[in-house]
Amino acid sequence: MILHLIRHPTPLVEPGICYGRLDLATAEAPAVAAALRPVLPPGLPVWSSPLRRCRALAELLHPAPRFDSRLVEMDFGAWEGMPWDAVPRAELDAWAADVAGFAPPGGESPLALQRRALDFVAGLAETEAVIVTHAGVIRSLLAHWQGLPPERWTELVFAYGSCTRVVVPR
């Protein structure tokens, strides 16, 4: 299976704010779609996170994209919308001690995110598809396929509006 994993365009949010499931808009979707169209094979199905920053781009890439909540970003729980420097130090230290297993208060862990993202991919019937999603989803999928340990997941960095093509063994 060939997947074209696209990170959403830059969201409209102040720098330094923790956001995952916050439903943020973007103003860049038309320009990002114009840049991606020439590099994507025509006629592929487009799947997307239902959050606005992904939805806006998906709707410009395909007349009828499909949305799946398993493609949303990690739920940061109580941290959502907070400045990162306001997140309690003890909670950040707990996350650093268990990068994959720690869940912010009321949120989900990176491993939980990875499980739902892998579940989505396992259910795909297509042999090639475009997926418009978030950095955390892309990171967790590629970390799994590359066999990276959780402490190395942050080495996988994706620019806003970027497309990562991956061949997934069935």
Residues 6+ apart with CB under 8 A from 155: 148
pLDDT given at position 158: 97
pLDDT given at position 170: 74
Whether residue 53 is predicted with pLDDT greater than 90 in this model: the reply is yes
**Res. 59 pLDDT band, cuts 50 70 90:** very high
Q: What residue has token string 């020439």?
A: 38
Question: What is the CA angle 115-109-139, rounded to 5?
Answer: 60
Report d(CA 157, CA 115) in Å as an integer: 20
Whether residue 139 is predicted with pLDDT greater than 90 in this model: the reply is yes
What's the CATH code, domain 2-167?
3.40.50.1240
With beta carbons less than 8 A apart as the criterion, state whether 165 and 2 touch: yes
Residue pLDDT, tens place only, 102-138: 999 999 999 999 999 999 999 999 999 999 999 999 9
Domain ranges of the chain: 2-167
pLDDT given at position 169: 82
